[in-house]
Amino acid sequence: MTDAAELRARTAALLAAHPPATTGRTDFLRARFDAGLAWVHYPAGLGGLDAPRSLQAVVDDGLAAAGAPDNDPRRIGIGLGMAAPTILRYGTAEQKERFLRPLWVGDEVWCQLFSEPGAGSDLAALATRAVREDGADGAGSGDWIVDGQKVWTSSAHLARWAILIARTDPGLPKHQGITYFLCDMTDPGVEVRPLRQITGEAEFNEVFLTGVRIPDAHRLGEVGAGWQVARTTLMNERVSIGGASLPREGGMIGPVARTWRERPELRTHDTHQRLLTLWTEAEVARLTAERVRQQLVAGQPGPEGSGLKLSFARLNQEISALEVELLADEGLLYSDWTMRRPELVDFTGRDAGYRYLRSKGNSIEGGTSEVLLNIVAERVLGLPSEPRDDKDVAWKDLSR
C-alpha cells in the first residue's frame, strides 16, 4: 500500500520533472493528475494511487511549500464535490476516462441541474422529461431528448457540463422512473438565464432545456435508478458545503473575531457573550467536520453530512447578524451592490452587509434546512418517518 514516504518521493519527482517556476499552470496540473497525486484515494490511472484519503495532505503540503499551483477548487467545487465522486461510483470506464481529468484540472466547469420551480425541497417530484429515441435497431436504444426547466443552478453561465436528473417513466412512483445524465451545456437546446439575488449579483441561474439531445453513453447508472445515483451526489454535496476543511477561526467567524480584537470601542457585554457562544459553536462544527472527513476515508459519505450542512447554515446566519450589529451603522454598508455574474462566492473578502445578505441562501442551497432536519431525524437518530401518502402513487397521477 502507498505510504507517506512514497507520496513524498512521488511529489519530489513531480516537482523535479515539472518545476512550478517554469511549467505552465495547466501543464503542471495535468502532470500532477497523471502522476496520481490529484486525489490520492482515487484509483490508479484516474488521478490517484489507491492510497488512504488521509494521506492527501502529504501531497498538498509538499506542493504548497514548493509554490506549486492548485486547481482553484472553489471555482470547480461542483465538479470536485458532486460530479466526480458520483462518476467514480457509477460511471463506466469510458466515462471516468473522459471526464475526471479535465474536471480536476479545471479545463471543464460543472454545474448541477437538479432543482426545478415545482420540485425544490421535494426534488423527487421533478417534471423534466427525458424520452428515448428509437435507435438503429428500432428498440429504443438511441439518444435521449430532454425537455424541462431547472432553477438555482450555480455556475451554469460558466459550465461546460452538468449533472442532470430527469423523469424517464412517469407511470412509476416519483422516486422511481428517474434517470441520471451528464448533459452538455453547449447543446443548442440549453438556455441559461441569470437569477438576480438580494446581493445584487447573479451567481445562480435558471436553465431551460428544449429538445436537448443526450447520448445514451452519457447516462450515469441504470435507466430508472437515477434517484439512487442522485443521493450519492446530494450526500457528497452536503459534506462539501458544510464540511470544508478550515483552520481555527476560518469561515464567517474570522472577520467578526478580528473586528472584536481590533475595534474595542464597538464592544458591549451582550455582543461579547454572543461572540463567545458562536465562536465555541463554530469550533465544534469545525472539529465535527474533521471527524466526518475522516469517516470518508472508509467509504462513501452518510447522512451525517446533512447535520454539518444544517449547522453551517445556522451559524453563518447568526454570525453575520452579530457582525452587522457589532459594526452598528458601518454594518449597514454594502459598497458593491452591482449586477454581475461572479465565478466565486467569497464570504470573507467582502463587506459585512454582503455576508449578511448572502448567508440567507445557506439554509436553501444544497438542501433546505427543513429537509435536512428530516434526514437527520430519520437516518441519523432513527426517529419515525413523516406520514406520506404519495410514495406508491404513479408520478403522473399526483396533483401538482
Report the relative pairing of strands 161-167 and 110-113 from DSSP bridges.
parallel
- Residue 111, judged by CB atoms within 10 A of its CB (0-12, 13-18, 19+), counts as buried
Contacts of residue 254, defined as CB under 8 A and 6 or more positions apart, other chains included, come to 348
C-alpha dihedral sign at 166, 169, 175, 180: negative
**Distance, CA of 73 to CA of 63 (rounded, Å):** 15
Give CA 371 to chain center in angstroms.
17
Contact 183, 194 (CB under 8 A): no
Give CA 2 to chain center in angstroms.
29
Instruction: Name beta bridge partners: 132.
Output: 144
Residue in 243, 296, 308 with CA at minimum distance from that of residue 54 = 296
Cell of 146: 430532454
Contact 237, 81 (CB under 8 A): yes
Instruction: Name beta bridge partners: 148.
Output: 209
**Distance, CA of 45 to CA of 47 (rounded, Å):** 6
Contact 378, 385 (CB under 8 A): yes
What type of residue is 380? V
The SS3 call for residue 161 is strand
Give CA 351 to chain center in angstroms.
24
Active site residues: 237
Residue bearing cell 497523471: 34
Query: Burial code of 16-31, b = ≥16 C-beta within 10 A, e = fewer?
Result: eebeeeebeeeebbbe
**Distance, CA of 72 to CA of 61 (rounded, Å):** 15
